[in-house]
């Protein structure tokens, strides 16, 4: 045992857990900084960091089980965030075509993977569990790649999102099927509760249906009341309470915590508070992302991998090649141009975070032994590590497929365009000015912009204000202007100016900081309550600062001058 671990352990039980968490966070922070600088994906780096810290290598965290409750909470937050991001509105247009491609890709990957696992000597039940896990792609990694390359709105990006949506929805059924597979394999699953058999399964699914229906009716009203209070943190509290409550309910019904958390996020993704929740949950999700994958990496056994490195490498190559071909074929069959299909297939060839969740659940119920779980997890890590390289290879191959034939039923627009010809589309409103805050000052600014025929979009935290603006046909977004998702939703990438009328200098600085992280060329005009704050806001990145005190003084001087002139003339 290391000196550091002895020192931490001597502090006692609770401090020992805190010490383990400190080691995890410090290591994850250093690794994240390094891999970001190198342009690599952070998730596989977190997994490798956990392997190094865990009992199988350095032993700095000799008892990862102590962090299990934090890991469970991390899963809830992670899947709640992923559920929030996956809404069918993101697939704008050709919905059946996009969903059909996603469903065909997911089904082919499971069936072919199942056949390969059985061919390699695995029994059908364990083989199906492994095939389901490896059929999934990484939503977090792929969305980050698409966002960085500004491809989310292009046909290849929308098709990739469609496949990810289908995969992540399929996870609900996959998680529910694991106990059934274990039972068919002759494994007694502990913790099933009072439910067993087909009828009880139907009863549980019926209870989930009642929960979904009730949530769809109740949650929009609760979220509306939370935003009306004016306390931004209340929306986050209500949303997280719903996520944890949904996870607890599904657990009581015999399903997994992961299923409930993802279901909660997916239900809330259909509300108008989706973007505000996403903006608030992203920092928390990213924190737990680091903790979850680092702790999960502690389960990796390098000695097992070293003893089976040929199997690991061969399996990794098979997974990458098979998924790239099958997903590309599926996308081509539903009408995508061959170049677009190849880009999507190679971008989604890796396994993902849901793969790790499924493997962990299958291992926990005894469906996978320690050696097999370690090998498959190693394959997942390797596929994640090479994702940027593999996605780049797909883009290079797409250039050689510009004249490739298409299926007879393919159109020649949208998905039918080649990858190089596909024009980027934007779902954000193309307004010249963003007005953050719609109090008396914001309304006056909007009125003056209308007189000058300048288009604008309003951001405000009051849902009643936003609803009134929508009724009059004015573009508006409910949410905190200091969050990235809210500003992007309001059209930050296309806007020429940002006018911040919020009567709170600290909140104004946060909005400026968020905007400047994405746009250094944006004209930023800010309001301040006092003259002494003007310099601080300019240092924060504001181009123009207007003081309430000076504006009031100018107005008073003007009114007094007019009054004196009127009196003198009278």
Q: What is the DSSP string of 367-403?
A: SS-HHHHHHHHHHHHHHHHTHHHHHHHHHHHHGGGTT
Q: What is the dihedral of CA 279, 284, 290, 294, to 10 degrees?
A: -140
CATH number for the domain whose boundaries are 433-569: 3.40.50.720
Q: Please state the three-class secondary structure of 125-171 as a single string.
A: HHHHHHHHHHHCCCHHHHHHHHHHCCCCCCHHHHHHHHHHHHHHHHH
Please enumerate in sequence order all residues whose Cβ is within 8 A of that of 121, keeping only pairs 6 or more positions apart, or say none.
none
For residue 288, what pLDDT is reported?
78
For the stretch 92-141, pLDDT in tens is: 555 666 677 788 888 999 999 999 999 988 889 899 999 999 999 987 77
For residue 153, what pLDDT is reported?
64
Q: How far apart are CA 245 and CA 234, in angstroms?
A: 16
For residue 428, what pLDDT is reported?
45
Please enumerate in sequence order all residues whose Cβ is within 8 A of that of 252, keeping only pairs 6 or more positions apart, or say none.
193
For residue 323, what pLDDT is reported?
94
DSSP bridge pairs for 527: 546
Q: How many residues comprise the chain?
A: 570
CATH number for the domain whose boundaries are 3-302: 1.20.1530.20
Structural domain boundaries in the chain: 3-302, 433-569
CB 417, CB 343: distance < 8 Å = no
Low pLDDT (below 70) residues in the chain: 1-16, 39-41, 85-98, 147-148, 150, 152-153, 188-201, 229-232, 256, 402-404, 407-430, 531, 549-550, 552-555, 559, 568-570
For residue 198, what pLDDT is reported?
56
For residue 367, what pLDDT is reported?
86
DSSP H helical ranges for 452-490? 463-471, 484-489
Residue burial 507-532, b: 16+ Cβ < 10 Å; e: rest: bbbbbbebbeeebeebebbbbbeeee
For residue 11, what pLDDT is reported?
44
Overall pTM > 0.75: no
Q: Which helix (H) or strand (E) holds 19?
A: helix 13-38
Q: Reduce the DSSP state of residue 223 to 3 states and report it.
A: helix
């Amino acid at each position: 045992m290391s000196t550091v671990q002895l020192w931490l352990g001597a502090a006692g039980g609770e401090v020992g857990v805190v010490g383990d968490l400190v080691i995890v966070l410090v290591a994850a922070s250093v690794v994240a900084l390094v891999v970001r600088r190198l342009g690599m994906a952070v998730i596989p780096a977190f997994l490798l960091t956990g392997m190094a810290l865990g009992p199988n290598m350095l032993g700095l965290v000799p008892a990862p089980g102590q962090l299990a409750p934090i890991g469970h909470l991390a899963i809830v937050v992670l899947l709640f965030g992923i559920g929030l991001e996956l809404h069918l509105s993101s697939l704008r247009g050709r919905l059946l075509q996009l969903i059909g491609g996603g469903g065909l890709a997911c089904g082919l990957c499971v069936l072919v993977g199942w056949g390969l696992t059985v061919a390699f000597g695995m029994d059908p039940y364990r083989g199906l569990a492994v095939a389901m896990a490896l059929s999934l792609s990484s939503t977090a990694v792929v969305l980050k790649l698409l966002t960085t390359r500004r491809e989310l709105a292009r046909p290849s990006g929308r098709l990739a999102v469609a496949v990810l949506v289908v995969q992540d929805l399929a996870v609900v059924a996959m998680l529910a099927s694991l106990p059934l597979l274990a039972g068919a394999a002759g494994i007694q699953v502990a913790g099933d509760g009072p439910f067993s058999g087909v009828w009880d399964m139907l009863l549980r699914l019926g209870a989930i249906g009642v929960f979904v229906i009730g949530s769809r009716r109740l949650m929009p009203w609760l979220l509306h009341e939370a935003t009306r209070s004016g306390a931004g943190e209340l929306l986050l509290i209500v949303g997280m309470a719903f996520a944890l409550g949904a996870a607890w309910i599904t657990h009581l019904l015999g399903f997994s915590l992961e299923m409930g958390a993802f279901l909660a996020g997916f239900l809330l993704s259909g509300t108008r508070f989706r973007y505000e929740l996403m903006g608030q949950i992203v920092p928390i999700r990213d924190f737990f992302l680091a903790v979850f994958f680092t702790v999960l990496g502690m389960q990796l056994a390098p000695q097992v991998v070293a003893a089976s490195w040929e199997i690991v490498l061969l399996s990794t190559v098979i997974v990458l090649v098979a998924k790239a071909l099958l997903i590309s074929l599926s996308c081509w069959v539903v009408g995508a141009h061959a170049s677009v299909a190849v880009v999507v297939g190679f971008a989604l060839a890796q396994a993902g975070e849901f793969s790790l969740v499924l493997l962990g659940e299958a291992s926990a119920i005894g469906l996978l032994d320690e050696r097999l779980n370690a090998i498959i997890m190693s394959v997942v890590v390797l596929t994640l590590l090479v994702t940027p390289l593999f996605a780049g290879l797909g883009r290079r191959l797409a250039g050689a497929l510009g004249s490739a034939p298409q299926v007879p039923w393919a159109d020649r627009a949208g998905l039918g365009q080649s990858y190089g010809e596909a024009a980027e589309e934007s779902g954000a409103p193309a307004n010249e000015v963003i007005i953050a805050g719609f109090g008396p000052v914001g309304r006056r600014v909007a009125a003056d912009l209308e007189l000058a025929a300048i288009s604008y979009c309003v951001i405000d935290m009051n849902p009643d204000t936003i609803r009134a603006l929508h009724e009059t046909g004015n573009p508006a977004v409910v949410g905190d202007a200091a969050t990235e998702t809210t500003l992007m939703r309001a059209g930050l990438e296309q806007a020429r100016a940002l006018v911040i009328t919020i009567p709170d200098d600290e909140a104004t600085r946060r909005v400026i900081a968020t905007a400047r992280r994405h746009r250094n060329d944006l004209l930023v005009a800010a309001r301040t309550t006092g003259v002494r704050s003007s310099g601080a806001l300019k240092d924060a990145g504001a181009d123009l600062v207007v003081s309430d005190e000076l504006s009031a003084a100018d107005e008073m001087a003007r009114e007094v001058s007019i009054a004196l002139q009127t009196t003198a003339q009278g």
